[in-house]
Structure formats: C-alpha cells, structure tokens
Structure 1
Amino acid sequence: MSNLPIPMTAEDFTPEWVTAALRSNGTLGDGSVTAVEATPVGEGAGFLGSLARLTLTYDRAGADAPATVVAKFPALVEVNRGLAVQYQVYQREARFFNEIKSTITAMPTPEAYYADVEEATGNGVILLEDLDGKLRVGDQLAGASAREAEQLMTQIADLHATWWGRAEEDTISWVPAFDGPVWAMTAQTLPSLWPTYQEERSHLLPPGMADIIERTWEGLIWLGQQLSRGPMTLVHGDYRMDNMFFPPSEGDPITIIDWQLMSRGRGPYDVAYFMSQSIDVELRREHERALVKRYHDGLLAGGVRDYSFDDCFEDYRLACLWCVMYPVAMGGGMAHNERAVQIAAEVSKRSFNTILDLDSVSVLPS
C-alpha cells in the first residue's frame, strides 16, 4: 500500500497524484505529468465503481509512459459505493492485480500501472492500460454471438482448470468464498432491493417468477454453501459482455477486465452468470447444452478429473438461480442512468427465462 490518498472523483486525479502513482512501480522515471484531462467512460457499464480515461501530458517521459490510462475509483452514487465497500470489491481487484494476475496465463487482462486500497475505508483505485482503439469492447445489451460464447467457454475453463482444487493455497485463500461472511451478507442486503424491483419493474416478471425469487432469498445461504463445495476454484465473478474486449482477428484471445467480484467457488458459476445474462434467450436455448459441454471438455483438457458432465450441468443450474440477485439488484436501485436501466431490463429477461427453462428452483431443498 502507498501513502497516496484514494481519489473519489475524476478531478482528484491531479498531475501530482498521477506522477506519484506512475513512479511508484517504475512506469515513470524522472519525468512528471504536467496535465491530466479526465473523461468519463463506460456509462452504465459499471455498477460498483466509476471509470474515467485520463489523457496525460508529460514534461518528459520514457517510451513506456502511457499517453492515456483508465482510472477505476469508487462509485459516485452512495448506495452503490456502500455495497462495493461492504462486499470488499475494491480490495479484491487491487489485490488481484498486485498478487494474483502474474499467476494467470489463460485469461488475458490489462496491465495495471497502479493498484491500491485504503484499509480504513475499503475504498480503492486502479490505473489500467487503456484498450480503446486496440480491441472492441463487448456489449451487454447486444449479447454474445454463438462463436464468441464458444471461445469464452474455452477461456474460462482454462482459468478454472488452473486453480481447480487449489482454493486453499495462500495466493488465493483470502479471496471470499460463496459460503463465507462476505457473500453471506447477500441474505440481508439483496432482498432489501426486492420491494423496489417489484414496485418499479413488476412488468418484467413472468408468471410465477416472484415466488421463485422469494424462495431464492430464503435459500441464499444454502445456495452459497453448495457453490462452495470442493473442489473449488478461482472464479472471475463478473463474466459478462461489458467486461470483455474482443480482438480484430476471430479466435485470438479475448481480454477480460473487472475482477471486483472475484471469488472462490464452483467453476460453473462463471458459466451460469455469462449464459443467463449475456446471451439472447433464443440463442442460449439453441446452444446451451453444447456450450456447457464445451466448458466441461475444457476442464478435462486442463487436467480436471472426477467431475462428470452431469455434475457440471447441475452446478450450472444451481448457479443460475443464485445469479438472479444481479438483475434484482440492478433493477431494485443500482441502475442510475438510461443504459443501466436498459441493461437491468434485458438481464432480467434473460435471467428469468433461464431459471424457468432449467427449472432451477427445483434444486432448492423442499
């Protein structure tokens, strides 16, 4: 940790602050940042934090000094920031870049020039490599194509296979598990957003869905326990299109950003999160089983043993039910601009239909 204060607004990224941050890890040598132009980016893409592109002017700088960086800092909306701190999301991502990123070869992610968290408040900041103009950002509203989904299943299987059964190793043992105290708070905090969702977005609820969601709230602790049965692995936690950058050439690795919800748990969690919220309903119905099979085949190719496809698919069904918390959270108070509201509605449709198609509620104990 450094002695730099955590910026709470884009205006807090002063030339002096950015100079000190870039010097802290050798990105910037003797030169100094003389001007910073901050431009908001990703409107509606981030619910737990703020994003700004910083265009930097130097008095002198080496060839490695970036012309622009993307700054991640605490959410401006108080309720979103409060949830982020409660769930340790700024701490998780800063520690990912400082402690875990170097161990991961199967999942491309941007370089971090600076990552820090303030222990007293839980607020954090990261300066990231700017991918604008290099790669195409995914679109949560448009959703993934079948080809994109296939590659994303292969990549997430590679990540999961790398950490399969190693969840207690020191490198990631601190990462919250789904049955631990951090995620256990969902049983209290998420249902509190449900009345607002019902009041403002009841038109999005298919027949019987309200009862399923209320049963899910009652079973959240149990679901977390099931998602934490061994063998656990490292899961990304926010595996969705807005967090994916696609290369110009099809088949090249897809770069994944945003590790704020990184957790330890059953691997199919990431598959369920992606499939139930980043793919059009009809496309998922057509390719669902084949995509989960592709993921399972990737686990086997990565050395995972004693984990059948049937077990994998059951974990997927269960995780889809857990993931209903996200559209309810977005639609129940965390969507604060037009695009976020649109995402909340689209993700609700996709998630609810997935749960109904799979009869996921039947996994709950009677």
Structure 2
Amino acid sequence: MMKKYTIICFIGILCQSFGQWMPVEIPTKSSFRALKSLGQEIWAGGTQGTFGHSSDAGKTWRFMQIPGAEKLDFRDLVILNKQDVLLMSAGPSEEGKASIWHTLDAGENWKIVFEKKEPGFFFDCMQWDINQQEGWLLADPIQQKLTLFQIRNNIFTQIDTANSPLLQPKEAFFAASGSSLSMQGDHLLLTGGGGTLARIYQKHNPKSAWNYTETNIPTGEAKGYFSIGSKNKKTFWAVGGDYRKLNESSIPILTTQDGGKSWQKLNDNPSFYMEKVIWAKPYWIVSGPSQSAAYHEKKKQWKNLGPSSYHNIIQVGEEIWGIGAKGQLGKISLSSIDKLFLAEK
C-alpha cells in the first residue's frame, strides 16, 4: 500500500496574461524531472520516491510516495497504458539507486522489476514505442562504451555495443529531462556532454551500426546537450547549456532537416540554459529551470514565456505542462502563446 500522502489537487480557472505560465499548487516540495503523457494520462516522477498522476489531462492530480523508495530520485518514466507504468531511479548503482519500478494498478502498488547493483551503472533516461511495445533504457557509458538496454515484456536486455564508437573521456549523458535519447521508430539519437566536443550518436535501424556526428562545439563538466526534440522523422532540435549557469547560453541550438545527416547551428538562441525542447505546432518550445521561450518556425521569431522553473515540459492537448524543483508545477495554453506572437511589439 502507498503511504505518507495521497493528495487530490483540483485546479481552478485563473487569469493568465499572454505567454505566462499558470502555476498549480501541489502539496509536496519534492523536485521533479520526469514528466510524460499518454492521451489524458500524465505521470511525473521526482525526489524522495515521489510520483504524481493525473488521469484527466491535468484537471486533477494526486501525489504519492512509494514505500521503500524514499531515498530515490525518479528522473524518467514510461507509460505502457492507463494502469501500467515504469519509473526510473537515477543514481549510482553501488548506492542501490539504479532501479526500475513497475505498477500494474495505476500507482497503488509498486515493485522493482530491474536493478543493477554492481558498481558503474547510472541510468539516464527511457523511451517507449507504444506501437511496437518495446523501449530503451540509456545509462552512462562504462569504459567509454555505450550502455543501453532494450525493454520487452518487462525484460531488460543489455545490448552488445562492443563495435560501437568509443566515447570521449568523461563523456556521458544527462539524467535531466528524459530526452537525451530520442526515438523515432527504429531511429535512435543520443546526445550528451562532458567530453571535449559535442557529439550526436545515431543508429538508423536495427541492422545499422552506430555512428556519430562530431561538432566543433566545446562541452565539459556540467555542459553539453541535454535534450533532443523531434518535429517528425527528419527534423530535430538539440538544446542544452551549462546547468551551473542558468541564465547564460553557453552552446548553440543544433538543428537538422535531413534526419540527422547534417546539423546546423540556429543563428538566434535564447540566453538561458535549456533542459528540454519539444515541438508543439507551430512552435518549438524550450525550457530550463530559470526561463522558457517559444520559437515560431515560419516567422523565425522567439518570444519569452516569462520566468519559469521547469526542468521538463510536455504537450497535452492544447496545453503545455511543466514541472520542476521544489514542487513547481504549471501550465500554459497554446492559445496564450498564439496571442503573444500576435500582440504588438
């Protein structure tokens, strides 16, 4: 059974100025980075073994703490169906923090279905293909080799990456917004930082080899690309920065229009660290723990969405939901963003 708290949050209608987030009060100060949706189902995961769930597109929420997981930080998740969810704990395996938790009853009960206890493992993010009913779990490199698990029927199989490219010394992936790994069908893209230069790793289909594009963009400790977002199978954005410098743009946004064969720097970049990027037609929306902004692709124009504290954002219907540190939850409507772009300068 669950313990500590089960809170239902009813969200009222509040006045909202153009382009401003509407905060939602929740009864926990846990910090959240995991946020995903499936239809009207929204799930969140955070520190102190806490998760949040809404089954009605955010109209009501409940937050719970999983018994036995109080020391864990759930950094990512996958939604299999309305009742069936996996939560990923990020942290050193030697400290008992590399584990995957599973519920079959919409969060009433949980059990560990996969964990690594030998030293060296640190889980970063998960992706799930609802059509193929399979997914991937990405972990930090071990001995500079990709560490990746395929998920099928709750069985986690480590992929042989002996012939994959050797990563740079200190290069790794970020357990930030669950989007350092992007999956479009069989096409996988990975991005991170910590090495000398930024790289984007790709595997185009099950039979193809891993390859990478090396940029001339310097990265380093705490600095690199934190998120890959996709508009379609050909168009991607990669965003990031230095998480120690929240109001600086230390690396450019990278874009591709040919499925990752070539990458270009976006000429105009917001001046803040970006932890998540999503496509929400007709906008690219980026967010970090200090600010967020929307880019109108046809107009080639940015609009700041105001101060925000959201590590992660997702689109649910006509709304963008964000979640972050110290129990920060909020939403902004696409119609509000539309009005921001239509408003006089």
Higher relative contact order (CA 8 A, sep 6+): 1
Larger Rg belongs to:
1
Greater helix share, structure number:
1
The answer to whether the superposition gives a TM-score over 0.5 is: no
Structure richer in strand, relative to its length = 2
TM-score of the superposed pair, with normalisation by structure 2 = 0.29
Task: Return the TM-score normalized by structure 1.
Answer: 0.28
